[in-house]
Amino acid sequence: MHRMKTCWSVLLCGSMLTLLSGSPAAAQTHKPTAKKTPAHKAAPRKPAPAKTPEPVDMQALQTQVMLDRAGYSPGEIDGTMGASTKRALDAYTKNGGKTDTLPADAVTPYKITEQDAAGPFVPVPEDMMEKAKLSTLGYSSLPEALGERFHSSPALLKRMNPTAKFVTGEEIQVPNVAAAVQPSTAPGASASPAPTAAPAGSPAPAGSPAPAGSPAPAASASPAAAPSPVPTSGRQSDASGAVTVTVRKSMSDLVVQDATGRILMYAPVTTGSEHDPLPIGEWKVTGVQKEPKFHYNPDLFWDAEPTQEKATIPPGPNNPVGVVWVDISRPHYGLHGTPEPSTVGKTTSHGCVRLTNWDVMRLASLVKPGTKVVFAE
């Protein structure tokens, strides 16, 4: 999935330098040995065998599906036991989750519908100025859209379906995750107008309705099995309705607990960077905005291109702050989604807290204005 970094995440990409032995002069004077022409016609070279896709680690996939269903998100499901999955599994077991039996139905068939394939799918430009010219930042491909629907990487879906063409009517295999929680504004919440400018933290977006022509969510696969018995995981508490959101910088994770201490949600997150560290302290939710716009001001970003100008980036899953913005009392900071779920928990941002789009949708269903938010080391 090729997406623009949310909160201008800092990625360091190395380059390989190949050293060629021998001086230029030696190369110019060396004459290759003449080859003899064979007396017989050489046999035609056999085509290289097709590369066999790397098999999916089913135990890792089952573990990730189990965690996702239970509300202990591993982040993007990719069929590998990465750091985010291991941290989620540790939190799950410490809070009573059982791992003696992994779900036998972790994979389920899904038939691609006309609505799924209709799109429209448009390549997402890297440049912010080009993004601003679009009416919406929808999905760039059907595998990307299905990946978000099933909380999975497009690469995993392709590995699970090596011969699939991803067209209408085709039946593919997908991770059997629980139905995604739709973003909702909690009672009493309001999508209050956002500031028009922002400092180091991601610029707070302005609320807006869902853009016309946005790709509709893929139809649901068969119902997932009931979650493992971790009390109230992934659901609103029945105790008092009061919840606390805690983001731990050292663990790159987020925990939502009710007044009794029960975990309602666990998810990997990406927090601040050296340039824009996470503002440690206690804050409160001030509002929840769905399908936010992103007000980009290059003057407020240390790594912005000097030739760029202020711009309003349209809403959509590929918007720099994803599909939901949870605003907090710390000016210009929030918890939000991302167009790059594979980087959550692995890279740095400009100070805000970034989750996968599906995890921030779940978070939005659990918080409301006044909800306590703790940023801890």
Percent of the chain with pLDDT over 70: 64
pLDDT at 318: 96
> What mean pLDDT is reported for the chain?
76
Mean pLDDT confidence for 300-318: 74
Flag whether pLDDT at 114 surpasses 70: yes
pLDDT at 360: 98
- Rounded to whole angstroms, the Cα distance separating 230 from 222 reads 22
Say if CB 350 and CB 5 are below 8 A apart. no
Q: Kind of pairing, strands 311-313 and 253-258? A: unpaired
Flag whether pLDDT at 120 surpasses 50: yes
Flag whether pLDDT at 33 surpasses 60: no
| Cα separation values, 49 from 27, 155, 160, 279, Å | 35, 21, 20, 54
Flag whether pLDDT at 92 surpasses 90: yes
For 17-39, b/e burial (b = at least 16 CB within 10 A) is eeeeeeeeeeeeeeeeeeeeeee
| H-assigned helices in the chain | 24-29, 58-70, 83-94, 114-118, 128-132, 142-149, 154-160, 357-364
pLDDT at 347: 66
Flag whether pLDDT at 368 surpasses 80: yes
pLDDT at 311: 80
Say if CB 202 and CB 7 are below 8 A apart. yes
Say if CB 325 and CB 203 are below 8 A apart. no
Flag whether pLDDT at 47 surpasses 70: no
- Domains annotated for the chain, with CATH where assigned, are 55-218+229-376 (2.40.440.10)
- Per-residue confidence at 238, pLDDT binned at 50, 70, 90? very low
In this predicted model, which residue has the larger pLDDT, 31 or 69? 69
pLDDT at 301: 58
- Per-residue confidence at 94, pLDDT binned at 50, 70, 90? very high
Flag whether pLDDT at 180 surpasses 50: no
Q: Which of 35-39, 42-46, 133-137, 276-280 has the lowest mean pLDDT?
A: 35-39
**Angle CA(165)–CA(166)–CA(167) in degrees, nearest 5?**
95
Structure tokens of 283? 């804050």
Flag whether pLDDT at 69 surpasses 80: yes
Name the one residue in this structure whose structure tokens are 């509002």: 287
pTM over 0.85: no
Say if CB 7 and CB 349 are below 8 A apart. yes
What is the per-residue pLDDT across 198-222, written as a single tens digit (0 to 9) for each? 333 333 443 333 332 333 333 333 3
Give just the sign of the alpha carbon dihedral 57, 58, 59, 63: positive
Say if CB 202 and CB 332 are below 8 A apart. yes
What is the per-residue pLDDT across 330-364, written as a single tens digit (0 to 9) for each? 988 999 999 999 999 976 666 689 999 999 999 99
Flag whether pLDDT at 18 surpasses 80: no
Say if CB 106 and CB 175 are below 8 A apart. yes
- Rounded to whole angstroms, the Cα distance separating 230 from 97 reads 6
